[in-house]
Amino acid sequence: MAIEIERKFVVRDDRWRQFEIGCAPIEQGYFARTPLVKARVRIFGENGYVTLKSANAAGSMSRQEFEYKIPKADAAEMLRQFSMESPIRKVRYDVPFEGNIWTVDVFQGANAGLVLAEVELESTDQSITLPPWIGDEVTSDPRYENSSLARSPFTTWSHS
C-alpha cells in the first residue's frame, strides 16, 4: 500500500509543451465505486494496471492507493467487459519544473478540451513553486476526479 499525496490544477495555456520530456496514452475505466473506494483498470502505454483508491477526506490531498500491474490484454478485456461508463481517454505528459515532475493530462473524447496538471508530493505540507502555465487549483473539487469525469464528462458541463 502507498499513500498518494497530490495536488491538481487546471492548465491555463500550452507553455508547458516546450518542456515536456515524454508522453503516453491512457485509457481507463471504473468497475466499482463506493463511498470508501474506487476501483479502476487502466492501460498506460504498453502496460495494464488495476488500482484501488480510497476516498479523499473532505479537503484532503492524500489517500491510500493499491496498484497492480496486469497484462495489457487483460486490461483491455476488463475495460471492454466491466467499465461502468465509457472509458476515459487522455495523453499524459511528464513536465519537469523546479525539482518536481508534473503530469499534464490532455483529455480526449467526451472530456476533450480539459487539460489538468498534477504534482505528487512527499508530504501534505511540502511547498512547491507553481509553473506559470498553472491555473486554478481543483484538488478539492470532486468534478475533476477521473471517476467523476467518467460519469459526468467535461463536454457536458455548462461552461458559462
**Cell representation of residue 12:** 491555463
Name the residue among 103, 104, 116, 102 with its Cα closest to residue 148: 116
**CA proximity to 113, closest of 154, 142, 82:** 154
User: Is residue 77 helix, strand or coil?
Assistant: helix
Sign of CA dihedral 14, 91, 157, 121: negative
Catalytic residues, which ones?
Answer: 30
Residues found in the chain? 160
Burial 15-31 (b: 16+ CB within 10 A, else e): ebeeeeeeeeebbbbbe
